């Protein structure tokens, strides 16, 4: 029902004139089921986190309303040689504290994003050097040809070197270790909105940046973001007019929201893929009844789990039809999605039981599953359904569902055996998923979200070649081969692409992006 739209962006409402912007300036109130974990743009590579901080901070490259690349802090870029990209920086840009933006901030931010504590290393792991040509020109040299570098760095936000050093925030907030610093609670970017107040888990407020270098189409002078974990409470707040925009609308409430006098649900396809990961590295599986070995190292066990999952039932009952079951780690709209490969293994409980028995687990085993309950659409319910499915083949799941604030630090430490995660390729290219989710883990950023440490050297070799290949036909053939290998390995258990469902006041006009980002600068409130 939600996937009939083919566009990557839905434009809602009509543009207002610049004069009416001023006349109707007011507060816009936004809510989500969860909160950003920090204001540090390098602390967590997660779309909601980057969406919120992306209103305060900017990269060298940004996105248009159709998700195409757009100049941001760089006005243009070129390739003097296959391994070098030159970026010409925008003149006259200031950080929110009035400090001028220069090449020094770019060099500092890339180093910060690639250093200890950063969760953005996968965006920089193939950068050899960032060097200053002059105050408004930088060159980025890569280890090999990297034709999609501008796409890759569109989510690497630039921070003020001076501000970070003055405020003892030269290193990122480390969510794995629970280390905080000034950048978690304060912010100093170049973006269209300034951070006014941060109360984690309660409220975060933003004020319009009156000295912004670009155009702010929004008439909102103030933005108030409030996390509301309870679905019913969040929907009630929208319908009563207490909030203006909320995400997600529970799939069971879409019709009710659309029937209301004050609001509507805006739906469309999302690029995010929801999947399950398994620890395939440890010799003994953590949080399991199996001692002395790791069942997930056996492909037969991974396949048994895959074939035990009734994905059609999850779509029908849990997602109310608002999902597309998938066999791949990327979905439609991503370069490198091949419909002919998107064929799941059949749901077959008896086949799954036999696979487990053949692997030496005729009676199944017990294992803990980690799951967020406030990050994706019906994430807790999905995990409950998976647990029920697996119980039919003798696998007892101890489900640990928790808020993203504690969930992400745990799984990012790889303190997990079995987990649920969602992924939207920030580059809108399959290389992002291959590098971030499927590459063998190293200390430079490859496989940073490959939390189960799946590793196939051939997939790694292809990923490196894909990164450097400029011929699109050859490149896509290698992407296809890499996905075929990963599918044959049962490297992960893909579930579905979920649908977008935003609740929006009828007084608000906005842009819905398929990556689920919410740029405040494109939101307008009518009187």
200 lies in a domain? no
For residue range 469-492, what is the model confidence (pLDDT) as tens digits? 989 999 999 999 999 999 999 999
Residues 417 and 315 in one domain: yes
Asked if pLDDT for residue 8 goes beyond 90, the answer is: no
Asked if pLDDT for residue 386 goes beyond 90, the answer is: yes
Average of per-residue pLDDT across 448-456: 94
Nearest 5°: the CA angle 48, 50, 52 is: 70
User: Confidence band (pLDDT; 50, 70, 90) for 4?
Assistant: very low
Asked if pLDDT for residue 24 goes beyond 60, the answer is: no
Residues 166 and 273 in one domain: no
For residue range 56-78, what is the model confidence (pLDDT) as tens digits? 999 999 999 999 999 999 999 99
193 lies in a domain? no
19 lies in a domain? no
Total residues found in the chain within this entry: 527
Residues 317 and 451 in one domain: yes
Which residues in 467-476 are b (16+ Cβ under 10 Å) and which e?
bbbeeeeebb
Q: Give the pairing of strands 203-208 and 220-227.
A: antiparallel
Residues 449 and 319 in one domain: yes
- Decide: residue 267, CB within 10 A, 0-12 exposed, 13-18 middle, 19+ buried: buried
User: Confidence band (pLDDT; 50, 70, 90) for 448?
Assistant: confident
Asked if pLDDT for residue 18 goes beyond 50, the answer is: no
Asked if pLDDT for residue 125 goes beyond 90, the answer is: no
User: Confidence band (pLDDT; 50, 70, 90) for 25?
Assistant: low
| CA separation for the pair 38, 10 (Å, rounded) | 29
Question: 129, 159, 175: which is the final residue of a domain?
Answer: 175
Residues 488 and 346 in one domain: yes
Return the pLDDT at 128.
Answer: 96
Residues 357 and 492 in one domain: yes
Q: Give the pairing of strands 418-423 and 396-402.
A: unpaired
14 lies in a domain? no
Return the pLDDT at 82.
Answer: 92
Residues 285 and 431 in one domain: yes
Question: 175, 202, 233: which is the final residue of a domain?
Answer: 175
Residues 276 and 425 in one domain: yes
Q: Which domain holds residue 138?
A: 42-175
Asked if pLDDT for residue 393 goes beyond 60, the answer is: yes
- Give this prediction's pTM: 0.85
Average of per-residue pLDDT across 511-517: 93
Residue of 361 and 333 predicted with greater confidence: 361
321 lies in a domain? yes
3-state secondary structure of 523: coil
Average of per-residue pLDDT across 178-197: 94
Question: 157, 175, 193: which is the final residue of a domain?
Answer: 175
Asked if pLDDT for residue 324 goes beyond 80, the answer is: yes
166 lies in a domain? yes
User: Is the bond into 454 cis (omega within 30 degrees of 0)?
Assistant: no
- Per the structure, the count of domains in the chain is 2
34 lies in a domain? no
Rg of the chain, C-alpha, whole Å: 23
Q: From its phi and psi, is residue 224 left (phi > 0), alpha (psi between -120 and 50) or beta?
A: beta
Q: Which residues pair with 505 in a beta bridge?
A: 263
User: Confidence band (pLDDT; 50, 70, 90) for 14?
Assistant: very low
377: CATH: 3.10.105.10
79 lies in a domain? yes
Asked if pLDDT for residue 5 goes beyond 60, the answer is: no
Average of per-residue pLDDT across 334-344: 96
Residues 284 and 143 in one domain: no
Residue with tokens 């059609």: 312
DSSP string spanning 261-297?
A: SSEEEEEEEEEEEEEEEE--S-SS-TTBS--SS-GGG
Other beta carbons within 10 angstroms of residue 168's beta carbon come to 10
| CA separation for the pair 82, 447 (Å, rounded) | 25
Q: Which residues contact 126 (CB under 8 A, 6 or more apart)?
A: 142, 143, 144, 146, 467
Residue of 114 and 445 predicted with greater confidence: 114
Residues 57 and 163 in one domain: yes
How many whole angstroms from its chain centre is CA 407?
15
Could you list the beta-strand ranges (E) of 362-417. Answer: 366-372, 396-402
**Average pLDDT for the chain:** 92
Question: Under a CB-based contact definition with an 8 Å cutoff, are residues 401 and 383 in contact?
Answer: yes
For residue range 134-181, what is the model confidence (pLDDT) as tens digits? 999 999 999 999 999 999 999 999 999 999 999 999 999 887 787 889
Residues 283 and 155 in one domain: no
Average of per-residue pLDDT across 249-253: 92
Residues 277 and 171 in one domain: no
Average of per-residue pLDDT across 324-350: 96
108: CATH: 3.90.76.10
């Amino acid at each position: 029902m939600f996937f009939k739209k083919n566009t990557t962006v839905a434009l809602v409402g009509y543009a207002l004139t610049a004069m009416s912007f001023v006349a109707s300036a007011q507060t816009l109130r936004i809510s989500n089921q969860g909160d950003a974990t920090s204001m540090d743009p390098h602390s967590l590579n997660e779309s909601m986190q980057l969406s919120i901080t992306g209103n305060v901070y900017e990269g060298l490259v940004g996105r248009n309303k159709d998700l195409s690349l757009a100049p941001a802090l760089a006005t243009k870029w070129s390739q003097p040689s296959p391994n070098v990209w030159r970026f010409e920086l925008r003149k006259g840009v200031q950080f929110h504290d009035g400090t001028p933006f220069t090449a020094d901030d770019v060099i500092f931010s890339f180093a910060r994003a690639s250093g200890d504590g950063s969760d953005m290393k996968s965006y920089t792991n193939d950068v050899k050097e960032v060097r200053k040509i002059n105050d408004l020109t930088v060159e980025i040299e890569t280890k090999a040809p990297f034709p999609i570098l501008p796409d890759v760095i569109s989510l690497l936000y630039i921070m003020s070197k001076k501000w970070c050093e003055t405020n003892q925030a030269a290193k990122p907030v480390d969510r794995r270790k629970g280390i905080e610093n000034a950048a978690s609670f304060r912010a100093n970017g170049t973006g269209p909105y300034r951070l006014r107040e941060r109360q984690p888990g309660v409220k975060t407020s933003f004020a319009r940046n009156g000295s912004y270098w670009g155009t702010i189409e929004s008439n909102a002078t103030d933005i108030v973001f409030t996390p509301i974990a309870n679905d019913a409470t969040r929907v009630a707040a929208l319908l009563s007019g207490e909030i203006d925009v909320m995400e997600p609308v529970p799939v069971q409430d879409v019709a009710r929201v659309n029937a209301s006098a004050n609001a509507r649900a805006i739906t469309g396809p999302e690029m995010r893929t929801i999947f399950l990961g398994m620890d395939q590295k440890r010799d003994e599986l953590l949080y399991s009844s199996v001692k002395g070995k790791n069942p997930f190292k056996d492909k037969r066990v991974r396949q048994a789990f895959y074939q035990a999952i009734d994905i059609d039932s999850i779509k029908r009952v849990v997602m109310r039809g608002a999902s597309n079951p998938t066999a791949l780690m990327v979905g439609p709209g991503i370069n490198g999605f091949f419909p002919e490969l998107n064929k799941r293994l059949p749901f077959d409980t008896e086949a799954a039981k036999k696979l487990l028995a053949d692997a030496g687990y005729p009676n199944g085993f017990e294992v803990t599953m980690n799951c967020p309950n406030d990050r994706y659409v019906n994430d807790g319910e999905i995990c409950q359904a998976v647990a029920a499915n697996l119980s039919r083949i003798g696998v007892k799941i101890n489900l640990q569902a928790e808020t993203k604030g504690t969930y992400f630090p745990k799984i990012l430490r790889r303190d997990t055996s079995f987990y649920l995660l969602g992924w939207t390729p920030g580059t809108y290219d399959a290389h992002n998923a291959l590098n971030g989710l499927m590459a063998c883990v190293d200390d430079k950023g490859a496989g940073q979200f490959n939390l189960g440490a799946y590793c196939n050297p051939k997939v790694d070799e292809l990923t490196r070649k894909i990164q450097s290949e400029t011929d699109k036909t050859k490149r896509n053939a290698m992407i296809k081969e890499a996905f075929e290998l990963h599918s044959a390995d049962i490297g992960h258990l893909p579930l579905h692409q979920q649908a977008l469902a935003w609740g929006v006041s009828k007084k608000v006009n906005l842009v819905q992006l398929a990556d689920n980002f919410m740029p405040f600068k494109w939101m307008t409130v009518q009187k």
